[in-house]
Amino acid sequence: MNEQGEPVLYAIVTGSPAAQEVGKLVDLAQENGWDVCVVASPDGLRFIDAESLATRTGHPVRSRYKDPGAPDVLPPADALIAAPITCNSLAKWAAGISDTLPLGLLVEAVGKGLPVVAVPYSNRAQISFPAVQEAMRKLSGWGVTVLAGAGVYPQHEPGMGERYWDLFPWENAWHALLDHPALTAGGS
């Protein structure tokens, strides 16, 4: 909770062009009384308007680890939504690799038992790769709600992603968080 008693969402974006629409998630969460902090991977930062998002949320967009001993500029998260998350970041997360701030926060969130939703955005070929499928199974087994596949949004063919950005399931991600067992059981 932040100082005003509002739950805090970390909206995490990685290096996908679909990240440019993360403001839709910010709006959904804020409309429901959540304080939102956007955290971007270094590649995810290329696709968002960090200044505009900082103005909308009242928090700087973080993309790198803070210096040792420096105070954190963000309130602690009560929940995280990683959307969009690339297959690269998904596989690294499931392997416990924390070489970017978003991955470090996601690894830590699973360890803390926080509610986490992940929505990969990639083409059908990449998301079908066995290591990525295994990563999604592992994360799901660890309590992460992973939204992927044709039932969530159409998996596009390689090179066709820009035709599907408007279908990215921001609302599904938000509702999946609200339905997360850790929240519905009173965990946060």
Q: Which CATH class is domain 8-184?
A: alpha beta
pTM above 0.75, yes or no: yes
Provide the pLDDT for residue 187.
46
Helix axes 101-112, 87-94, angle to 10 degrees: 50
Domain ranges of the chain: 8-184
Provide the pLDDT for residue 28.
97
Provide the pLDDT for residue 163.
64
What is the secondary structure of the chain as a DSSP string? --TTS--EEEEEE-S-GGGGGTHHHHHHHHHTT-EEEEEE-TTGGGGS-HHHHHHHHSSPPB-SPPPTTPPPSSPPPSEEEEEEE-HHHHHHHHTT---SHHHHHHHHHHHHT--EEEEE---HHHHTSHHHHHHHHHHHHTT-EE--STTTSPPPPTT-GGGTGGG--HHHHHHHHHT-HHHHTT--
Provide the pLDDT for residue 103.
97
CA 134 to mean position of chain CA atoms: 19
Provide the pLDDT for residue 188.
46
Using alpha carbons only, give the angle 130, 124, 94 rounded to the nearest 5 degrees: 40
Provide the pLDDT for residue 88.
94
Q: Which residues of the chain have pLDDT under 70?
A: 156-165, 185-188
